[in-house]
Amino acid sequence: MSEKAFLLIETDANKTSEIINLIAQIDGIKSANQVAPPYNIYDIITLVETSNISEVGAIALKIKSLSGVYRCVTCVITGTDGIVCRQAVNTFALTRN
């Protein structure tokens, strides 16, 4: 079974395109798209698909470490149970319903 998540990413406005290109090179990234300004907190939405939940966390931490990334919120897709969101700041923790 694969794990899927949306990552909502806030960036330095001058680096958004560069960050999208870097994110697209990470294994497990299915898509990385800029969100239309100016009414959104987040600048990029990314779809991740991996074989296990810890890989989702590793990808989120990798993105968070990129220069110009201010925040990365992970929303794990849990099927019919809804979406569980956790913010990846200094440590990363995901919980399942």
Task: Measure the CA–CA gap between 96 and 18, rounded to whole angstroms.
Answer: 32
CATH number, domain 3-88, options 1.10.1040.10, 2.60.40.3080, 3.40.50.280, 3.30.70.920: 3.30.70.920
Task: Measure the CA–CA gap between 20 and 17, rounded to whole angstroms.
Answer: 5
Check: pTM over 0.85? Answer yes or no.
Answer: no
Q: What angle do CA 4, 62, 49 make, to 5 degrees?
A: 15
- Phi, psi for 20 (deg, rounded to 5): -60, -45
57 by Cβ neighbours in 10 Å (0-12 / 13-18 / 19+) ranks as buried
Going by the DSSP 8-state scheme, the letter that residue 68 receives in this structure is T
pLDDT tens for the chain, residues 1 to 97 = 688 999 999 999 899 999 999 999 999 999 999 998 777 889 999 999 999 989 999 999 999 999 999 999 999 987 655 555 555 443 334 444 3
Q: Which residue matches tokens 């296990």? A: 52
